[in-house]
A = this chain, B = another copy of it.
Amino acid sequence: MKKSKAETAKTRQRIVEIASEALRARGIEATGVAQIMAEAGLTHGGFYRHFDSKEQLVTEAMAMSRNDFIAKTLAAAQQGTEAMLQHFQDYVTSDHRDDIGGGCAWAANGSELVRADAKIRQNATEGFRTLVEKAALFMKSQPDEDKTDVAISVLTNMIGALTMSRLVDDPVLSDRILAVTRKRIARTIRPSSSKAAARPRKLASKRPANH
């Protein structure tokens, strides 16, 4: 039953993708190797042809989750202030809240990641730093305020708010947590820069900030 190299690589990739979603949706400890393999349409025995251990898969899957989000952020940053504002607002929506498996890994696995091993925490730290640095470029700050500090504050707030919006069992309170955080983002990201104002080509096609 040997498979071609191309097929093998595709299978490995599929396992990581499925793991990335499953670990966020159901938690790291609660998700078994056999479950992931079954979702990939395989039996668990073949797992170790691709990975040394569950730990290795978790590390790769978490890195993939992180890279997805960073890539989206960098793309938004390149499009300008409006896109960046939209990107951050989208983070604290009911859509993101209800799609835990497809969303931010820090919010989905926060307290488990705190106890994860060195490599995973190192990856997460690098990712967070990248995000903070990129976000800082778009922040509005008071005269005595560091833009990087503002970015740290807003980003940690977004992660905490999304987590709490999932934790509370009252939909009204949950929506309110999200709405309040969207308002804070709108207040903190500086209004469309001169650069963005100079080429407002995409403004009309954007959804309004508060949807």
> Which residues from chain A sit less than 8 Å from chain B, CB to CB?
26-27, 29-30, 100, 106-115, 118, 121-122, 124-125, 128-129, 149, 152-153, 155-161, 163-164, 166-170, 173, 176-177, 180-181, 183-184
Contacts of A153 in B (CB 8 A): 157, 161, 180-181, 184
A177 to B146, CA, bound (A): 13
Listed A/B pairs (18) with beta-carbon separation below 8 Å: A27-B29, A27-B115, A29-B30, A109-B111, A114-B163, A121-B168, A121-B169, A125-B173, A128-B164, A149-B176, A152-B177, A152-B180, A156-B160, A156-B161, A156-B163, A156-B177, A160-B161, A160-B163
- Chain A residues touching B, majority SS: helix
Contacts of A118 in B (CB 8 A): 169
A176 to B136, CA, bound (A): 15
Contacts of A157 in B (CB 8 A): 153, 156-157, 160-161
Contacts of A128 in B (CB 8 A): 164, 167-168, 173
Contacts of A26 in B (CB 8 A): 115
Partner of A111, one of B112, B158, B169, B176: B112
**Contact (Cβ within 8 A) A111 B107:** yes
Contacts of A110 in B (CB 8 A): 110-111, 163-164, 167
